[in-house]
Amino acid sequence: MERRTFVRYIGTLGTVALLMPDLLACSNSKKKIVTNKLGAPLERGHLLRGNIDFASGYPVEQIQVPVLIVGGGISGLASGYHLKKNGFSDFLLFELGEQTGGNSGFGANNYSKYPLGAHYLSLANPGNEPLISFLKELKLIEKEENGLQFYNEDFLCHAPDERLLFKGVFHEGLVPEYGISEEAHAEINRFFKEMRELKSAKSKNGIDLFNIPVSQAEITEEVAALDTMTFKEYLAEKKYESEELLWFLDYCCRDDFGAGYDKVSAWAGIHYFAGRKATPGNTDPTTVLTWSEGNGYLANKLEEPVQQQVRKNMLVYSVEEQEDQVLIEAIDLHAKKKIRVSAGKCIVSAPSYVAKQILKSPSWPKSYFEGIKHNPWLIGIVVLDQIPEGNGTPLAWDNVKFGTKGLGYVSDRHQEFSPVRDKHVISVYLALDKADEQTERQRLFQMTEEEMCRLVISELTSMHPDIEQHVESISFQRWGHGMVTPYPGALAKYQEYQQLKKTAKRIHLAHTDYSSYSVFEEGFDLGRLAATAILNYEA
Ligand SMILES: Cc1cc2nc3c(=O)[nH]c(=O)nc-3n(C[C@H](O)[C@H](O)[C@H](O)COP(=O)(O)OP(=O)(O)OC[C@H]3O[C@@H](n4cnc5c(N)ncnc54)[C@H](O)[C@@H]3O)c2cc1C
């Protein structure tokens, strides 16, 4: 195992201190900053790009199993969870990483756990019964009364949840409203009014036009038209011009999709606001559930019941659909052996760019996978010897600066009850979307730790000018392909997926890439639907 991998996966609090991470420091920095790169799955994924001859001499193990799941992110785990919940245990799940979770994985240092990607779950929409029942099982929803969900307050994001550095002062909330013109205020109000109306808009069949998961919405012609233009073009058409509102909407797109409002579709931009309609009984509908380890908490809960079925460190490199079976080939990277699986059915929950490479199935032509795009991300997990304060609202869970292209940072220890902290741990999120996704991906892979360090420090310094002297260490998580980016045309891709699904016999695809909207709820839904299709067949 690579030493860096070891640093990442040692996992337990308190043990990491025994390790000596890279003592590379930002050379211009006033003090030494310890840095290290995380991200073994990224390097492992790249094994698929070259040849896999390194395993040519490995012994071969043959396995027969009714169902194999490829990929243990939220979608794959959700498939396993639902199969098991319905009494079906005759399956295996192969995950490439040393831990499950994928984009919802997590790490830990001496002071805190931290998310490697996904850090929160929005409150469930009222019609999303499977998710509500899962959250009840986890006691995250404590009760339901009169159609309202009462959430466990320990896990609702504590106040202050968000603050925005605007006009030199931190203000609560992320909408820039302080001291703005009356016209700008009126526009912000007009925008949110329009979104409220779209929230309740229904098709002739009485189905929501915008809903999360997307499978619970109806894509009418009117909705499909929003997939043909960018969100920026839509806003211009509607005469939204205020600098404050436009910055806020662009920020929301970069934060949720990894690309700005000039790149994502009007459908995606609207869906972000109109698709959410939670009805909590004890909090604001826009509050989120969060943990130090982010959605790694939920990934672990999904994994618990299927631990017996999960095999980690498995690089699946071929999935071939045949008339009477699916043949899957994998390399067990730890045991150093090849695994040949003969399965009745296979759920492929690896990302689309992996599926395109490993899948040989008449139901899923290679051309289908073209055009599904992802922007790269860089996350810097920073240990500070002092709380990042500032004028105005104190440190919040999410901390953002108005007017920049940055996404700010999240305080990883926010949900802890103890106010006494020796060190602070924050995660700085950077969506790399200046150039096209290929160019940005190359830029990310070529970046030295020194360059990553400067990027993260400059993002922080723009909010806290003297912060550098308080930075002790930075760990970098690189996502070459972050979540799927819903460019114009992405909704049409989802419709194509729905069509292809109907003809698929033995291979089901379940990954958030296919719903064109990457959030926990989508992964949970796609995984559940794939499991249901298999359970129906078995019945
Ligand atoms: C930076 C970032 C921040 C995010 N923040 C949030 C958030 O706060 N809230 C939210 O709801 N969503 C967030 N998301 C979206 C997130 O992608 C989804 O919530 C969800 O985790 C996606 O799960 P998935 O299973 O569909 O995909 P993935 O997470 O991509 O899972 C795919 C799995 O397949 C495995 N795999 C890949 N290749 C192979 C192979 N050849 N063999 C075997 N296994 C393989 C991978 O290792 C991985 O575990 C964020 C995403 C990113 C990138």
pLDDT of residue 18: 32
Per domain, the residue ranges of the chain are: 45-105+293-372+485-538, 121-154+177-289
Q: Which of 5, 104, 414 to mutate to test the pocket of ligand 1 (most atoms within 8 A of CB)?
A: 104
pLDDT tens digit sequence for 475-504: 999 999 999 999 999 999 999 999 999 988
pLDDT of residue 76: 98
> Cis peptide leading into 160, omega within 30 of 0?
yes
Atom of ligand 1 nearest to the CA of 100: 49
Reduce the DSSP state of residue 229 to 3 states and report it.
coil
Read off the amino acid at residue 54.
F
Q: How far is the CA of 305 from the centre of ligand 1 (A)?
A: 20
Q: How far is the CA of 376 from the centre of ligand 1 (A)?
A: 13
Decide if pLDDT at 15 tops 60: no
**HSE-CB for 169 with a 13 A CA cutoff:** 8
Q: How far is the CA of 328 from the centre of ligand 1 (A)?
A: 21
Are the C-beta atoms of residues 48 and 317 closer than 8 Å to each other?
A: yes
Report the chain's C-alpha Rg in angstroms.
23
Give residue ranges with CB within 6 A of ligand 1. Answer: 41, 45, 48, 70-76, 94-97, 102-104, 117-121, 295, 314-316, 349-351, 354, 377, 479, 482-483, 511-512, 518-520, 523
Q: How far is the CA of 74 from the centre of ligand 1 (A)?
A: 7
Sign of CA dihedral 391, 397, 403, 405: positive
pLDDT-based confidence at residue 26 (cuts at 50, 70, 90): low
Find which of 7-16, 50-59, 346-355 is predicted with most confidence, using mean pLDDT.
346-355
Q: Cα–Cα distances in Å, from 332 out to 80, 94, 329, 342, 368?
A: 20, 9, 10, 16, 29
* Rounded Cα–Cα distance for residues 79 and 64 (Å): 19
Long-range CB pairs of 222-228 (<8 Å, 24+ gap) are 223/267, 223/491, 224/267, 224/491, 224/492, 224/495, 226/265, 226/266, 226/267, 226/270, 226/491, 227/265, 227/266, 227/267, 227/488, 227/489, 227/490, 227/491, 227/492, 228/265, 228/488, 228/489
Q: Cα–Cα distances in Å, from 207 out to 127, 215, 531?
A: 11, 11, 24
Q: Which of 483, 511, 514 to mutate to test the pocket of ligand 1 (most atoms within 8 A of CB)?
A: 483
Provide mean pLDDT across the span 328-349: 97
Q: Which two tokens stand for residue 403?
A: 């007017």
pLDDT tens digit sequence for 311-323: 999 999 999 999 9
Atom of ligand 1 nearest to the CA of 377: 1
pTM: 0.94
Contact partners, residue 93, CB within 8 Å, separation at least 6:
68, 69, 70, 71, 72, 76, 77, 79, 80, 100, 306, 309, 310, 311
Atom of ligand 1 nearest to the CA of 76: 25
SS3 string, 244-260, reads HHHHHHHHHHHHHHCCC
Nearest CA to ligand 1 atom 49: 102
Sign of CA dihedral 148, 154, 156, 160: positive
pLDDT tens digit sequence for 101-132: 999 999 999 999 999 999 999 999 999 999 99
pLDDT tens digit sequence for 235-287: 999 999 999 999 999 999 999 999 999 999 999 999 999 999 999 999 999 99
Nearest CA to ligand 1 atom 5: 118
Q: How far is the CA of 115 from the centre of ligand 1 (A)?
A: 12
pLDDT tens digit sequence for 379-408: 999 999 998 989 999 999 999 999 998 899
Look up the CATH number of domain 121-154+177-289. Answer: 1.10.405.10
Q: Which two tokens stand for residue 510?
A: 């379940």
Atom of ligand 1 nearest to the CA of 120: 8
Decide if pLDDT at 1 tops 90: no
Q: How far is the CA of 195 from the centre of ligand 1 (A)?
A: 28
Sign of CA dihedral 160, 165, 171, 176: negative
Q: Which fold has domain 45-105+293-372+485-538?
A: FAD/NAD(P)-binding domain (3.50.50)
What is the tally of helices (H) and strands (E) in the chain? Answer: 16, 22
Atom of ligand 1 nearest to the CA of 429: 1
Atom of ligand 1 nearest to the CA of 521: 11
Reduce the DSSP state of residue 404 to 3 states and report it.
coil
